[in-house]
Structure 1
Amino acid sequence: MVTSEMVDEKSRASAWFRNLRDEIVAAFEVLEDSQTSGPTAGLPAGRFEVSETTRASDDGSDAGGGLMSVMRGGRVFEKVGVNISTVYGTLAPRAQAAMAARKGIAGMAEDPRFWASGISLVAHMQNPHAPAVHMNTRMFWTPHAWWFGGGSDLNPCLEYDEDTAHFHDVQKQHLDPHDPAHYPRLKKWADEYFYIPHRNRARGVGGIFLDDHCSGDWAADFALIQDIGRAFLPAFLPLTEKRRNQPWSEADKDAQLVHRGLYAEYNLVYDRGTKFGLETGHDANAVLMSLPPMAKWV
């Protein structure tokens, strides 16, 4: 039983997700400015359009919201979104039952309050040699339990073994100081979670993922989720910088569009975050920010 409202812990987590968002948005805009060669160099440097999002509550009361930051048609990024949110209220009966069944939480019907905060990022690139990427981290609280979740995974349409190795190595470097057992466990979890059963394949080359993480030591768990967030830029930016000027063909672009179809299928059919966001009344545009600007099915 959680005996504290964890006001300070919630505030610290929400502030961290906001700071991480600001750091990533700034780094991506610098990347856009530095793209001065290649087929997209003539485009205006991309900038994020920022809008506030809200969560609808059943009774019209304040239920939180966040910021949706989306860049479209940039030199490097065809579409990238970096969203943060802090939402709260009461879980509907269906969500209560699902949470009780999946997490084994008792008492949800008697006190169905919840609070959740996090960051969610998806980047779809102009150059098909540059990999798409996803990252999210979050904290969830109820009066009965709290936990952290999230991760990061790479989604190239044209795979390069050295890029995959770099992405995974950076994740491991950030996890090992917490516990050397974390990386192999979270890699396996990502391989299982980011899998598309109806296609019998993974949606990308994996990464790390965890959910329902609560060791009982909030500070230690928060430090772990922070390092998962800190790993993102050093894991991803070098790959983008290496591939963004690589020439591509129409066949390469076609492969990118087909791969994006896989990404869309996964997010619409299987992703738990998409389902939770829509079922709890969060801004639909923010929830579906992850979808690519263009995709193709064969």
Structure 2
Amino acid sequence: MQAFRAEVEQRFRELRDRIVAGLEQLEGSGATFRRTGWERPGGGGGEMSELRGELFEKAGCNFSAVHGDSFPPAPPGALPEARGADVRSPKFEDLAGKPFSAAGVSLVLHPKNPFVPVVHMNVRYLEAGEISWFGGGMDLTPFRPFPEDTTHFHGVLQQTCGPDRYARFSQWAREYFFLPHRGSERGVGGIFFDYLRGEEEWRFVQQVGDAFLPAYVPIVERRRGTPWTEADRSAQLRWRGRYVEFNLIYDRGTLFGLKSGGNVDAIFMSLPPLVSW
């Protein structure tokens, strides 16, 4: 298991590097990602990559690989309904307190133009005791949705997942990226998956990571030149409030990171630089 974990961590680093290079090219202003390493006192660490540019008001793409002696308790709602034979949720009560390791790549992009959508992507690998699994997801949060953008984004994900998994994982995303107190989803969906067991799922997780740039870049190119007004900007900042609400209240990655002693700055990388309610 240790050799496989090392392979996963290396591939995640390479994925992060490819995405960062692609986003710097897309930014086009000469702004680059500033990388900051960090260490977790209990074991492991990671590297934050953050860009502040003209296209992206704030873009973050983080890599982490941490380990510890005590797996944190599962957050509320961490036990989903069955999503097919390939999804096997562990019994978290049996894992709490056992040695663990976790590695992943997580990104959130907050464009300045209100018509360019926010996007999130995450792929992760966890071990706890003798059990290991993969999880991840990708979703689009436009302030002003355009049907052709939504169709393109979901089309790339459907091609990546295949019809069966896309149907299940897109439904999971609709349920996961939902704000009960608002009674609405935070965006136009995407995919979400968790508890995929075994090395045979590793290829699928890599395909999800590789699908990010093809799913998002054409949308940015289509919308980046759209004129906008101060009224659009004010409405965008209010809409960002829902993104903040989800990430601070419901997001599993945020909750796991805080409970496992992760780097606070890296955990809150997903938050926008400006927001209003």
User: Do they superpose with TM above 0.5?
Assistant: yes
Query: Retained in 1: the 8 A contact 2:73–2:92?
Result: no
List aligned pairs for 1:25-104, cutoff 5 A.
25-33=20-28, 45-57=30-42, 63-72=43-52, 74-91=53-70, 95-96=72-73, 102=79, 103-104=90-91
Counterpart amino acid of 2:56? Answer: F
Tell me the residue number matched to 1:234: 214
| In 1, Cα distance between equivalents of 2:252 and 2:160 | 25
- 1:86 is paired with a residue whose SS is strand
Tell me the residue number matched to 2:11: 16
Tell me the residue number matched to 1:213: 196
| In 1, Cα distance between equivalents of 2:93 and 2:182 | 36
Counterpart amino acid of 1:120? Answer: S
Query: Retained in 1: the 8 A contact 2:178–2:186?
Result: yes
The structural deviation recorded for 1:98 is 5.8
The structural deviation recorded for 1:144 is 2.7
Counterpart amino acid of 1:108? Answer: L
1:291 aligns with 2:271: yes
Tell me the residue number matched to 1:225: 205
Identical-residue share of aligned pairs (%): 46
Change (3 A) 1:113 1:186: same
| In 2, Cα distance between equivalents of 1:75 and 1:226 | 30
The structural deviation recorded for 1:46 is 1.9
The structural deviation recorded for 1:105 is 4.6
| In 2, Cα distance between equivalents of 1:197 and 1:271 | 13
Counterpart amino acid of 1:88? Answer: H
- 1:88 is paired with a residue whose SS is strand
| TM-score normalised by the chain length of structure 1 | 0.86
Change (3 A) 1:120 1:97: closer
Match 1:198 to one of 181, 187, 200: 181
Q: Count matched residues.
A: 266
RMSD: 1.6
Unaligned runs of 5+ in 2: 80-89
The structural deviation recorded for 1:181 is 0.8
| TM-score normalised by the chain length of structure 2 | 0.92
Unaligned runs of 5+ in 1: 1-5, 34-43, 58-62
| In 1, Cα distance between equivalents of 2:60 and 2:259 | 21
| In 2, Cα distance between equivalents of 1:82 and 1:154 | 16
The structural deviation recorded for 1:106 is 6.3
The structural deviation recorded for 1:7 is 1.3
| In 2, Cα distance between equivalents of 1:185 and 1:160 | 24
- Pick the structure with greater CA Rg: 1
The structural deviation recorded for 1:108 is 3.2
